[in-house]
Every structure is written in C-alpha cells, then in structure tokens.
Amino acid sequence: QVQLVESGGGLVQPGGSLRLSCAASGFTFSSAGMSWYRQAPRKQREFVAAISSGGSPNYVDSVKGRFTISRDNAKNTVYLQMNSLKPEDTAVYYCRVYRGYEYWGQGTQVTVSS
C-alpha cells in the first residue's frame, strides 16, 4: 500500500533553514508527481510546492525564492529545502501523492520562532 513518511521538521529561528524529507513506498515513485502542503494552527491546509515526474517544480508565491523542492528517484524520496524561514512558515508540513486517490503522510511540525 502507499506510504508516505515525512521527517526533518523541528524548531528553528527566523532566517534559519530546514530540509524536509518524504520517503515514499507502495507505488512507482519515478512516475508520480509529488507535492508538499502545510497547515498552520486554525488555518486550512495549503499547497506549498510540487514537482512533476520529470522534475519540474511549482511553488506558492509566498515561498518562491526561499524553498526548493527536489526528488531522488533512486531513494524514492522527495525533499523540501526551506531557507530564510519566517514565523509565518510555522505549520505541520505534509507530503501528498495522487494515485487514483489522495494519499498523505502523517506530517512533520515546523516551528519558526526566536
């Protein structure tokens, strides 16, 4: 079955960096577009970034120039490099894939605070 396992979250000061990882299994990773979403307290889950099976990225405007999505098909893993973090980036970050149905990971908490 499809499984997505995120890791790499934590507490970081404003201006700092984190790299999130999402390890995928149960489907042909190399042929799947992958995406990251986030949900802040008392807010709806929102799209952050996506990467196509061919490696083309797409970002929400608020993270352009700060976040980079990438993938390693040999490791069945998608990454989200987050630089210049701001307090408003604080959220639970989720990995998502659509394979006839939406699949989500359990999420990883990112807290940006001094």
What CA–CA distance (Å, rounded) separates 70 from 56? 9
Kindly state the helix (H) or strand (E) to which residue 21 belongs, with its residue range.
strand 18-25
pLDDT of residue 76: 98
Residue 28's pLDDT band, with cuts at 50, 70 and 90, is: very high
pLDDT of residue 33: 98
Strands 10-12 and 91-98: unpaired
pLDDT at position 72: 98
